[in-house]
Amino acid sequence: MLSTQKYLQEYSIDEFTRCKERLVRGVYSKSEQVEFFSKLVVYLKDESTRSCAKVWYVLEILHLIFCKFKSEIEQGLSEEYTLLVRCISRPFLDLPIEILDQIFSYISSSSLLRLQLTCRTVKIVARGVFERNGYMQKYVDEALYKNRPIESTYRSNAEIIVSLKGPNLKESPLLTLSPDSQTIPIFKNFPKIKGLEYHYALKPLPKGVSLKTFLMQSTAFTSLFIRMDTLVFDPDENPAETLKLLCEQKDLESLTFLQTSNEAFAVHLNLDTLIYILNGCKKLRELTLGYSKALHTFNVDIREQARVYEQVKVLKGDIGCLNKKDLPFFLKMFPALETLELNYCDNLSSKTFKVLSGFSHLKSLSLSYSYINKKMFDAVMAFTNLQELFLTRVNISSEEIKQIETLQKLRVFVLKENILSSNKIRYILSTCSSLEVFDLRKTKIYTKQGECTYSDSIRALDSLRELYLSHCLIDKQLFVDILEKSPRLRVLHLIGQKDLSHTFFTAIKKVQSLKTLKLSQIQLQDAILELKCLTSLSISRCSLGSIDLSLFTTLRKVNLSWSDVTDDAFTKLAFWNKNLKRMRLNGIEKVTENGLRSLYGCKRLRALFLDGTSITDDVAVGLLENLPKLKKLSLASCQNISESGLDVKQPHKKIRSLFLSKTRISLDHLYKILSMFPRLQEVRHDGCYDEEESLKFQEVKTSFPTVFFTHYSS
């Protein structure tokens, strides 16, 4: 017989563990389990046990008993369950809020929604967990995407963003105006909407709904993402009135203007409009401007514009359309900038950098793909507070590199697609004491004859966390020196490095803190097995040789595409890594059906790519039935997948994306397949080759309006 209430206080953790094992084996009768459940609930109510470590073991036992009786209900054994509910219904609700909150934190978002309909106590706790875990934003996004309604009585003060990305927004009940009111329904359910992303401006919206309508609903937006063509998309909308409403957003902190490529609807952002908005939005902190060829057309002279906007801290986008004379005066309007992007600017002048030299608070600067001379670079080095510097494809001389020592707070340095000497790299690493991210992708690093290459020129790189060397021609000794001085390196990318010798692998294995490693087109060596903390490993097109992948027991993401992994090695990898979440297995030829079946045990897998493999219908069905959390499945170019390849017995409630191009699944069978995946959002299928197939494909698309279809023609 299970323990009495008095004896429970003396239970140790080991005794609770043994009790759980006996429950699993079915030692106790149903009546004993019901009685024990009620006693455990009373035990949790005792204030002396709430902070005790035993509580978590008690919760596991409660969950085990409850789930066991729940499964028996499905078999028709509801009498014992009724007795169980009668014993625990009131004591359960009398539990402290902290305990209920912890219990509900293990429940899915859909279950939390249903729980809110039970009683007031459960509703308060369930809604708190639902909003705290960020489920509310996902709930609204899915409702907009799938045109699902939300009960009119449901209200929440959660701060969410309305993102108009759905494929058929015109049918959305959350956006349809009622005949007697100009209120958009979603604002009734969520009165504290903080953001609006107006992506699909050229897609039909419900009648009467436009950007102007949204701005009329609330003046408390903190972020807006707007395409400029929305100002004239609705013929009944007055752009001047819309801009006036935009200026009434007193709490607006982030504003993005995205230009359209459609000249028929283009409304170009000019300086008059921008100044009008800046004068109205006093709290605007981040401004992103899409390409506007009319930004330099305005009625007022920019050189006479004396107004400054110190509230703006971030300026991004394409402002290269301003001419060389006007750009310095434009930047003078934002003297308190902390982040600035000047990419693709060929009109930078010394006057521009003279203005920038006054930006004492600048922390992030991007000058990628821009022309910079020595004087301009001298001005950049004057930003002593700079933390992030992006200089992609910018020719830097040795004299300019020597000035990098002034940037002692630099954390992120991107030098992609440049030509640098190994001494330049050594000098950068020796002087930037706070460097955390160093990006040299597609950079050619050479060594001059007579150059000093001693490793003492690189001091200890204790702060370096991420190093990107993909497709980079790097000196062997320089690479070894960097790794030896980087004891806390966590991310290392070496894609495209085809000549990694034993010396390279010896240096890599010494970095025991490494979490992410990406390699390609090389012969792996045993030294890699010394990396015990890897959570992400990419070895596409690599030769494994005698490497035993089962020794990696902490992996979460794996890419084995086009490698020579065998059935035996793959089975061991899947067996010892039950926590795998993402796998890319494209083009693996030596892994057969038996090897792929080993994935059945990876219950936490969320994304699986099997393009170009020999997977069969039976294995595909088995994967869908045994991987309950799978959200993305790619079977493109799998010639053995036929119409019965996805014929599952029960609907899969998690699948969001299916890639089925170049398989033997016909359009006739596609309708049946899609009906088995109720949460599907994206499908890729082959193109239509004749008029009849085009009509069939159109029928399928019409039947599933919430699914985005992509098809490929031959």
Q: Which of 217, 154, 227, 157 is nearest to 187 (CA)?
A: 217
> Given this model, what pLDDT does residue 260 score?
54
C-alpha count within 13 angstroms, C-beta hemisphere, residue 634: 16
Tens digit of pLDDT for each residue in 77-97?
A: 445 445 544 544 445 666 677
- Indicate the domain borders of the chain: 5-132
The total of other beta-carbon atoms located within 10 Å of residue 157's CB is 9
CB 648 within 8 A of CB 621: yes
pTM score, whole prediction:
0.77
Cα distances (angstroms) measured from residue 61 to each of 57, 89, 697: 6, 17, 51
**Residue 543 per-residue DSSP state:** B
Cα dihedral 176, 178, 184, 189 sign: negative
> Given this model, what pLDDT does residue 451 score?
53
| Local structure of 464: helix, strand or coil | coil
Which single residue is written with the structure tokens 């008690």?
58
Region of residue 26 (phi > 0: left; psi between -120 and 50: alpha; otherwise: beta): left
Task: Please name the amino acid found at residue 555.
Answer: L
| Rounded distance between C-alpha atoms, residue 489 and residue 464, angstroms | 6
Tens digit of pLDDT for each residue in 532-584?
A: 889 999 999 999 888 888 888 899 999 999 999 999 999 999 888 888 999 99
Question: Which parts of the chain sit beneath pLDDT 50?
Answer: 1, 4-6, 50-51, 73-78, 80-81, 84-85, 87-90, 233, 262-266, 294, 296-299, 452-456, 713-714
Cα distances (angstroms) measured from residue 363 to each of 51, 60, 335, 338, 341: 45, 49, 13, 5, 11
The DSSP H or E segment spanning 60 is: helix 54-74
Cα 244 to the center of its chain, rounded Å: 35
Q: Which of 86, 80, 56 is nearest to 68 (CA)?
A: 80
Tokens linked to 378? 């001298």
Work out the mean pLDDT of the chain and round it to a whole number. Answer: 80
Number of H helices, E strands in the chain: 26, 24
CB 610 within 8 A of CB 636: no
> Given this model, what pLDDT does residue 382 score?
79
